[in-house]
Amino acid sequence: MTKFEVEPVTPTCRRIYERGDHALIGVSAGNSYFHQERLGSLLAWAEEHFNMVDVLYIDTHIDAMLIATGLTPAQAGSRTRSMLKDVRRRIRRALEKTSGTAHGRLRVRSMSECAQLPAYQEVLRRLDRDFDDSGPVRRAAEEQVRELLEHHSVPVTEHSADSVQIKAGLAYVRSEIPFLLDTPAILGVPSSVTCYHKLMPVVTALYQEPGSPGRSARQGFLVVSPEPVAAPDSPPQQTRSRTRRKQLTLTEQYDEIAADYTDVERVFSTYRSLIEIPSLLRALGPVDGASVLDLGCGSGAYARLLRRRGAAEVLGVDVSPGMIEVARALEEREPVGVRYEVLDAADMPVLGTFDVVVAVAVLHYADSRATLARMMRQTWANLTPGGRFLAYVGNPRLPADSAQMNGLVVHRPDNARDGDPSPLTIPTTPPTTLPARYWSCETIEKTLRASGFTDVVWEPLDGLPSGAQEPVNLLVSARAQPVGAADTAAPSARERAPLAATAAQ
């Protein structure tokens, strides 16, 4: 279960926290930070520390926000219903980890329900005096909305506060602020702390700016974030987890990345669409009627792609519960018929006999030759005889500390040997460094053949810009040979690994 760091923003907030009367946990419909496992851990933590806990999910102003981003009213309505269905499901399943509901200590409320309370409306009227005068909280709310729109790459039609996007965002943020001012009055509790995983501009304004609307002396705010996990050989660290993701295990790092799915898409979408997807589809060929297993599926981008291209059955597996939560949420929002499971590629059981297995950026996380071999043996065990295996693996020819067109930076020692650390830094916010390893083309080939594969080929890559030195990943394909069959002397895959000049043609 996830452990949390707790940071009250002021000494008064600490005293309110230590009283333990009440906690309010707000969950936004579109925020995948609160995946089911993390939310369950957070509720269990809150149940342990507070006499009463309210989970508040935001169900107002979502459609207006979506329309402001360019969706039609019909599309926005459909997307809103799907998002709310997803957030209610996450909360319901997270509650299964707690006992508070049985004792009436843990309640779930919607914003639309709370907005009807007379005490909420009174606090909102107090807030509106600041908004009408463009006071410090109004200015902080605009800053918060602009950061959100920029983060989600939403173009703002005007720079003024009158733009459609800013107005929609302000309505959304405004509805939340009363719970930062006086939750005790609104919900009838002795004192309360609002819990969130980061500090927001509005909170900073409320606690630091002179002239802000008066907060209740019984109202506090906590930054509650996942506790950092030190590497096995590292000394204890005091740095906050949200600025040091590299301290976490690979699974926990991908859970952290999953917390902001749009950030991940910003990093990978261009490289994926221009190079990875066209190259893989060309190498794979038609998938009509095929069964597909996607190893390390992440948010399910390739699983959904192959299902839409005619695959009859697609199963995605990933070691990160957070990523699987994102994938399942996307499937629930726009169903295409993909199943997802939390499994480790090195230790998964036989899940079926698949025609195709794909593994995008998975093998280079093997931390030893034994782990690499287990990944490949388990892959072979899940393939039908003659089935295809296609994998993107870290390019061993990349020079040390080289940056790629999608912003990835590969940190590699000179004269690297198999199994040496070759960390990848991903330009998320904050940057994430993942513990990849160096594996030579020869070792990949030998391990594939030793694991029951034949016809090992390094496939050419499409779409590389002219003048590019090396792609960040190479694409290897192989076939699962039947038990007892001899390798048919496939040509050396290294000899067929494409040079960038060839791939760019």
28 catalytic per annotation: yes
Structural element, H or E, at residue 295: strand 291-295
SS3 content of the chain, % helix, strand, coil (to 5): 45, 20, 40
Instruction: Retrieve residue 419's tokens.
Output: 């199994």
Name the token pair of 370: 């034994």
List beta partners, residue 391: 359, 476
Distances in whole angstroms, Cα of residue 444 to Cα of each of 359, 384, 484, 485, 489: 13, 21, 21, 20, 16
> Which DSSP helix (H) or strand (E) runs through 89?
helix 73-95
DSSP string, 7-28: EESSHHHHHHHHHT-EEEEEE-
The answer to whether residues 54 and 113 touch, using CB atoms and an 8 Å cutoff, is no
The strand pairing partners of 411, in sequence order, are none
Catalytic residue selected from 28, 225, 291, 299? 28
Give DSSP secondary structure letters for 237-268.
--S-GGG-GGGS-HHHHHHHHHTTHHHHHHHH
For residues 192 and 183, is the Cβ–Cβ distance under 8 A?
Answer: yes
Four-CA torsion 208, 212, 214, 220, nearest 10 degrees: -40
Q: How far is CA 103 from CA 56, 100, 184, in A?
A: 18, 5, 21
Q: Report, as residue numbers or ranges, the catalytic residues.
A: 28
